[in-house]
Amino acid sequence: MSPITVTDHTIVQEVTIKAPAERIFNALTRPAELLKWWNCEGKFQLIHAECDVRPGGGWLMRVQGANCRTGQPESVVSGEYRTVDPPTTLEFTWNRKGEDYPESLVRWDLDEKNGCTTVRVTHSGLISEQMRARNNGWSLILQLMHDYLSHDAD
Amino acid sequence: MVTNARRQRDRVFRVVADPTRREILNILRGGEQTVGGIAQRFRISRPAISKHLRLLHAAGLVETSPLGTATMCRLNAKPLRAIEDWLGDYESFWRDSLESLKKYVEEENK
């Protein structure tokens, strides 16, 4: 597992899996498979998934305990597929119901070599890029946050 | 159960999503200001600015104290920590998800 990178509020995580990319692409796009793996004991568990896997098609997931920090019992996350390019690329928008946060974007890149696949997930637009462009102001918030956190670390 | 932490976090996001309120924070970044001093910098009415200030105050981003007949406002960036925490939740969420995906696919392949 690679270390986390957080740049401009994009989260990038990578893992290498001993399996062909196609196998992983299926695990990411088929509800029956998603339900088998998308959970983490004591933290969160996927309990329902819908995937209309085509550009513009919708997806929806219901996750139990998706946010242990806030103690919220269940969250509904949904969005729309933007890029569906099996078995290498899957991109979709990400909206968490009932929260005021702007829409973000999740991208999966699968790179297969010698039977192993590097899986990279990129979650961008957290504190949305498009909002930053439109209102030209999130950079201030990030700056203030940075000021505060650096001060806090002293 | 919706916790106070989450409520506070949502409040911070809502408050900073507005350009006027962000501009007020920007002004206060340069130092303390009276309500009147802030209002002078905007074309919108003083009651409208006061309303924005009330919301910033409710989210804990602006602290106020009386100064004679005026009200002094100062920035408190601490609540922005909620945004950082929210990003941290996503970090661990994706880390756990990838670990789980790896385990599932590799064990099935055996």
Section B3-28 average pLDDT: 84
- pLDDT value of residue B102: 95
- pLDDT value of residue A43: 81
To the nearest whole angstrom, how far is the Cα of A48 from the nearest Cα of chain B?
16
Residue A114 phi, psi dihedral angles, 5° rounding: 50, 45
- pLDDT value of residue B88: 81
Using the beta-carbon criterion (under 8 Å), do B91 and A11 form an inter-chain contact? yes
Residue B64 identity (one-letter amino acid): T
Cβ contacts from A onto B, under 8 A: 132
Confidence label for A134 from pLDDT (cuts 50, 70 and 90): very low
pLDDT in tens, B93-110: 899 999 999 999 998 766
Residue B12 phi, psi dihedral angles, 5° rounding: -65, -45
- pLDDT value of residue B11: 86
Question: What stretches of chain A adopt beta strand conformation (E)?
Answer: 5-7, 10-17, 39-40, 44-51, 58-67, 72-85, 89-96, 104-113, 116-124
Q: Which residues, in sequence order, are bridge partners of residue A64? A: A45, A74
Confidence label for A135 from pLDDT (cuts 50, 70 and 90): very low
Confidence label for A132 from pLDDT (cuts 50, 70 and 90): very low
Q: Which CATH number fits domain B4-108: 1.10.760.10, 3.40.605.10, 3.40.190.10, 1.10.10.10?
A: 1.10.10.10
To the nearest whole angstrom, how far is the Cα of B69 from the nearest Cα of chain A?
30
Section A52-69 average pLDDT: 84
Q: Which residues, in sequence order, are bridge partners of residue A50? A: A60
- pLDDT value of residue B110: 64
Using the beta-carbon criterion (under 8 Å), do B13 and A100 form an inter-chain contact? yes
Rg (CA), chain B: 21
Picking from A49-63, B11-25, B39-53, which range would have the lowest pLDDT averaged per residue? B11-25
- pLDDT value of residue A129: 47
How high is the mean pLDDT of chain B?
89
How far is it, in rounded angstroms, from Cα A98 to Cα B47?
30
Task: Return the domain boundaries, chain B.
Answer: 4-108
Using the beta-carbon criterion (under 8 Å), do A73 and B1 form an inter-chain contact? yes
Share of chain B above pLDDT 70, in %: 95
- For testing contact with chain A, the best of B4, B18, B27, B91 (most A CBs within 10 A): B91
How high is the mean pLDDT of chain A?
80
- pLDDT value of residue A104: 87
Q: How many CA atoms lie within 13 A of A45 on its CB side?
A: 5
- Identify whether the C-beta of residue B15 lies closer than 8 Å to the C-beta of residue B61: yes
Handedness of CA B6, B7, B10, B16 (dihedral sign): negative
Section A105-118 average pLDDT: 94
Among A110-114, B9-13, B20-24, B81-85, the range with the most confident prediction by mean pLDDT is A110-114
Whether A70 shows a pLDDT value over 60: the answer reads no
Whether B39 shows a pLDDT value over 60: the answer reads yes
How far is it, in rounded angstroms, from Cα A98 to Cα B10?
10
- Identify whether the C-beta of residue B20 lies closer than 8 Å to the C-beta of residue B44: yes
Whether B70 shows a pLDDT value over 50: the answer reads yes
- CA neighbor of B15 nearest in space, from B80, B74, B90, B78: B80
DSSP3 helix / strand / coil % (chain B, rounded to 5): 65, 15, 20
Query: Residues 64-123, chain A: which have Cβ within 8 Å of B?
Result: 66-67, 69-73, 99-102, 119, 121, 123
Query: Residues 129-148, chain A: which have Cβ within 8 Å of B?
Result: 131, 135-137, 140-141, 144-145, 147-148
- pLDDT value of residue A62: 93
Name every chain B residue with its beta carbon within 8 A of the beta carbon of A145. 77, 80-81, 83-84
Among A49-53, A122-126, B21-25, the range with the most confident prediction by mean pLDDT is A49-53
Own/partner pairs for B80-83, CB < 8 Å, 24+ apart? B80/A141, B80/A144, B80/A145, B80/A148, B80/B12, B80/B16, B81/A145, B81/A148, B81/A149, B81/A152, B82/B5, B82/B8, B82/B9, B82/B12, B83/A127, B83/A141, B83/A145, B83/B9, B83/B12, B83/B13
Using the beta-carbon criterion (under 8 Å), do B25 and A140 form an inter-chain contact? yes
Of residues A27, A43, A102, nearest to B104 (C-beta)? A27
Q: Which helix (H) or strand (E) holds B71?
A: strand B70-75
